Amino acid sequence: MPIAFDPDTRVPFWLASDADKPKETRPTFECIAPTRRQMIQYAKLKEEAIAETNDDAFFEKLIDAVLFGVKGWKNMPTPFSRDALYDLTDDELLELFHGWPRASRLTETDLKNSRSQLPADAASSTSTTPTVAA
């Protein structure tokens, strides 16, 4: 079953500055695995934030967009909340804002390891090309 159909599924996301920390202690954000529909909603929230000319209003909308997809965290010094997000730096909030939607994507290594090879005698599913009448 696709992970997006399980509302309790959470995928990890961490900031680049924490990437070298051990997995057991790495500060990690717990994100949804967004569906196409949710990505459309997130895009609207993102556009609203980017359109803001007032810095305070921009960060309020940015945090709305973060909270749309980030549902918790672990290995952090305080419990997860909207207010606790204000303890992150502006750069960390921006990285989270842009990064959480990609948390559920496979890495290049994952993609290479998941590809199965067609047997040499197997026909490709794209071997027949439809013809178009002129």
pLDDT tens digit string along 32-62?
Answer: 999 899 999 999 999 999 999 999 999 999 9
Tell me if 125 is assigned to some domain. no
> Containing domain of residue 50, as a range?
3-107
Q: What pLDDT was estimated at residue 115?
A: 46
Q: What is the dihedral of CA 41, 44, 46, 47, to 10 degrees?
A: 170
- Pairwise CA distance, residues 28 & 38, whole Å: 21
When pLDDT is cut at 50, 70 and 90, the band that residue 118 belongs to is: very low
Q: How many domains does the chain have?
A: 1
pTM: 0.76
Rounded average pLDDT over 71-96: 97
| 47 falls within a domain | yes
In a domain, 15, yes or no: yes
Q: Is residue 31 domain-resident?
A: yes
Average pLDDT for 107-117: 47
Query: What is the pLDDT, as a whole number, of residue 121?
Result: 45
